[in-house]
Amino acid sequence: MSAAVTPQQPAAVTRKEPKPERLIDRILNWQFPERARGVVTWISVVLLLVAFALLVWGMVSAVSYTLTHTGPPCTNPPQREASPPQWVMVGVCLLAFVLGHLTARWQSIDPKHSQRHKNLREVDHPETDPRKREALIIQTLLLVFLVEVIGLLIIEAVTLSQNVWPITYYVRCAYDAAGVQSMAAAASILFLVGRWFWLPDRGQNARTRS
């Protein structure tokens, strides 16, 4: 039950003291010096190139092995313990996830690009909205994603119903047969996920180039 404020109480008592900034907020709100902003952008680009190369390497290795061999490169069923150990895999993936988030948070965005998205409800003529094309791209990507999910679900359902390896075993087999390469691909995926799906609200913690 809150106490009623009487006129006799001084104003200083009723006014809330500003809370001290938490350590996590201080870390998240920490800003790079002006000269370092471009460096972060280039670090992001380099790390993205590395992630792209690792993903392509993993994909080419998996597809080429499948095309040139009849059996899997691991035991049946695949072992769950291989080299490097699972805790190393998880640790590296978590580090990549945080690294992806930090590079996305600290890289600079031109305000003219970020400002375009903030006036979403102020368009008088939606038909002539220049963002229409961008929305179409997003919806197309969403459609592709959903179609791929349907494909994966069909494979999973059919293989399980016929007593064949589920997709989980593909991942486990890759770890069993090529642990370091699988760890590199998994870390690349987590780096991208950290960039795309753990993003601060612009204007609160993250910053744009001002």
Partner 1 sequence: MLEHAPREAVGFVALVGLSTLALLAVSDIFLTESKRASVGEWVTLWAKRYPMFALALTLVAGALLGHFYWATAG
Site of interaction with partner 1 (CB under 8 A) = 41, 44-45, 48-49, 51-52, 55-56, 58-59, 62-63, 66-67, 71-72, 76-77, 104, 107-110, 113-114, 117, 120, 138, 144-145, 148-149, 151-153, 155-156, 159, 162-171, 185, 188-189, 192, 195-199, 201-202, 209
Q: Kindly report the length of the chain.
A: 210
Encoding tokens for residue 46?
């380099």
Instruction: Find the radius of gyration of the CA atoms of the chain.
Output: 25
Two tokens, residue 207:
């910053």
Work out how close the CB of 23 gets to partner 1 at its nearest, in angstroms, rounded to a whole number: 24
- CB of residue 70 to partner 1, shortest distance in Å: 8
Q: Which residue has the tokens 């390497």?
A: 57
The total of other beta-carbon atoms located within 10 Å of residue 158's CB is 10
Instruction: Please give the DSSP secondary-structure letter assigned to residue 178.
Output: -
160 alpha-carbon distance from chain centroid: 30
Rounded to whole angstroms, how far apart are CA atoms 102 and 84? 26
Is 5 or 39 the residue whose CB approaches partner 1 more closely? 39
**Would you say 9 or 204 has its CB closer to partner 1?**
204
What is the closest distance, in whole angstroms, from the C-beta atom of residue 194 to partner 1 in the complex? Answer: 9
For residue 159, the minimal CB distance to partner 1 (Å) is: 6
Question: Which one, 21 or 201, has the nearer CB to partner 1?
Answer: 201
